[in-house]
Structure 1
């Protein structure tokens, strides 16, 4: 279980961390999520999640999506390069089933890893 935890060191915590990624991001876009990434100087990837109340109205849906995004990231973090990633939720993301969210994110992690490896 230890290797699949989502510890503090795997998260983007401060506004400056988010600003760093937003300033010069490599995007991976889908109908439900936009993933933005930028290389970091650490030995592991980090994740930040932004799900706006304007886009996803209900708190329980935002919480469900955050849990699914974190879970998907935990399973893929070993295959990702050393990058900081921000997942931005779009309108309609709350309509997806858990399986659809996982498969969509799986494709986007791969796309992002390929783009950041260049």
Structure 2
């Protein structure tokens, strides 16, 4: 298996997994994204994506955002607690970000949870 692959076990795929996070989440907003999180009873973090057509009309743009979210999560997951994360987009402004700027904004989100982890 490719080591750079994000396996299914670290992704939220079922609707009840999303509902669980949305029931009592912690929220962080950066630029035009919101990251919801809630602790899980697993020994690893998981990620879910909710990027709607309402704000991002073109599929290639949604896919670009998802690809960068998954990649930054994959590279930072070893520093995160056992949390379930869901990233949502709440503004069209995200389309104005270059790939590098988008990656930097995503790193800010993961950095916050790395700091949060160390304070606990």
What is the TM-score normalised by the length of structure 2?
A: 0.90
Residue in structure 1 matched with residue 51 of structure 2 by the alignment: 51
Residue in structure 1 matched with residue 86 of structure 2 by the alignment: 86
Q: Across the two proteins, how many residue pairs are aligned to each other?
A: 118
What is the TM-score normalised by the length of structure 1?
A: 0.92
Residue in structure 2 matched with residue 5 of structure 1 by the alignment: 5
Deviation at 1:83, TM superposition (A): 0.2
- Report Cα offsets for 1:11-46 as digits up to 9, x if no partner: 001010000000000111112210000000001000
Distance 2:29 2:69 in 1: 15
Deviation at 1:2, TM superposition (A): 5.0
Tell me if the contact between 1:28 and 1:36 (Cα under 8 Å) persists in the aligned partners.
yes
Change (3 A) 1:3 1:82: farther
Bigger mean CA deviation after superposition, 108-117 or 59-68: 108-117
Change (3 A) 1:31 1:49: same
Residue in structure 1 matched with residue 103 of structure 2 by the alignment: 102
Residue in structure 2 matched with residue 76 of structure 1 by the alignment: 76
In the alignment, structure 1 residue 60 sits paired with structure 2 residue 60:
yes
RMSD: 1.6
Distance 2:36 2:113 in 1: 8
Tell me if the contact between 1:6 and 1:70 (Cα under 8 Å) persists in the aligned partners.
yes
**What stretches of structure 1 move > 6 A for 4+ residues in a row?**
none
Change (3 A) 1:4 1:44: farther
Deviation at 1:3, TM superposition (A): 4.5
- Segments of 5+ residues of structure 1 without an aligned counterpart are none
Tell me if the contact between 2:21 and 2:85 (Cα under 8 Å) persists in the aligned partners.
yes
